[in-house]
Amino acid sequence: MTGAGRSAVQAALAADPVLAAHYADFRAHAEAALDPALVALIRQAVAAVHGMGAAPDEAGLDAATRSALAYARRMTFEHTAITDAEAAAVAAHLGEPGFVAFSVLAALADAECRAALVGLAELAGE
Amino acid sequence: MSTIPRVSSAIPGEPAHFGSVLAHQPDIAASFFALYGRFWGSDVLSARIKEVARMRNARVTECGFCRNVRFDKAVAQGLGEAAVDDITDGYETSDRLTDAEKAALKFTDALIHDPELLNGDARAALQRHLTPAQIAELGLGVTLFLALAKALITLGLEPETMDRTVLPTPAVPEAAE
């Protein structure tokens, strides 16, 4: 992440307000489809895998949420190894629409971390 | 990696595919297709370089669907199958890919695999061949290619078999213009 909640991609697109607005809209809709607390946990868990901050404290979380976070972590480097059973568990917890949003958000969070690590905003002159 | 959909289609009568599954979340779908159409419609960075990066992402993430799709705008800009075949490990020595495309590929590898790959020489080459605005578009593209490939794969939407398919390049849906 770059700045207060702004991703490296958003920062890189500063010179193209239309494309930046489209990206922000997509990102906002992906986040709005899930509970804000879960969104924050997913982003934190994924960022921690990339060495970008501490992992979330899961002590007070229910088992289903912990499973969802474990799944989000798997998205970062092991996406082809995720099993049908793992997916079914998260889908059962979130429902099909929620699982779709979760999949998009977790994958986007991973990609945004990678964009930050490669220095996208700086390369784009921001 | 599953080729059995892990989510049902949200469009009656249609099988589960990326569009019909994303339809479970209409706002996400609409905003994504508007973004993707705008991205491909912009000519700040050529469609050919975008497609080169998309092909590299498809191979590294093992997205069979992505790997078998071609967008017609890049084909019209001269990206033939011989050049696509060179978008594999060792692309640095290809005589079909331009230096700008090789620099974009190194950036793609760095973003989707290992940021250390964008070392001093690779970084300098990228900045020599692409403007900051072009790098911003490339970064957006690779971010989306990577995220969507992973979402598609983990939702079980990989086809069991698929022929190479040339599709119209995504455009901004009329409702989003």
**Is the CB of A96 less than 8 angstroms away from the CB of B7?**
yes
The single residue listed with the structure tokens 């020489």 is B121
User: What are the pLDDT digits (tens) for A85-120?
Assistant: 999 999 999 999 999 999 999 999 999 999 999 999
**Mean pLDDT of chain B, nearest integer:** 95
| Alpha-carbon gap: A44 to the closest alpha carbon of chain B (Å) | 17
Domain positions in chain B: 18-176
Please state, in angstroms and rounded to a whole number, the distance separating the CA atoms of residues B59 and B62.
Answer: 5
Q: Which CATH architecture describes the domain B18-176?
A: Up-down Bundle (1.20)
Sequence-distant contacts of B92-100: CB under 8 A, at least 24 apart: B97/B52, B99/B125, B99/B129, B100/B49, B100/B129, B100/B130
- pLDDT class of B173 with cuts at 50, 70, 90: confident
- pLDDT class of A12 with cuts at 50, 70, 90: very high
- pLDDT class of A66 with cuts at 50, 70, 90: very high
Overall average pLDDT of the B129-134 stretch: 98
pLDDT of the residue at B177: 57
**Is the CB of B154 less than 8 angstroms away from the CB of A103?**
yes
pLDDT of the residue at A4: 41
**Is the CB of A123 less than 8 angstroms away from the CB of B127?**
yes
- pLDDT class of B159 with cuts at 50, 70, 90: confident
A115–chain B Cβ distance below 8 A for any pair: yes
Which residues of chain A does B11 touch, with a Cβ-Cβ cutoff of 8 Å? Answer: none
Q: What percent of chain B has pLDDT over 70?
A: 98
Residue B12 exposure: Cα atoms within 13 Å on the Cβ side: 0
**Is the CB of B150 less than 8 angstroms away from the CB of A100?**
no
Query: ipTM score here?
Result: 0.95
Q: Are A19 and B39 in contact (CB under 8 A)?
A: yes
**Is the CB of A107 less than 8 angstroms away from the CB of B112?**
no
User: What are the pLDDT digits (tens) for B9-28?
Assistant: 999 999 999 999 999 999 99
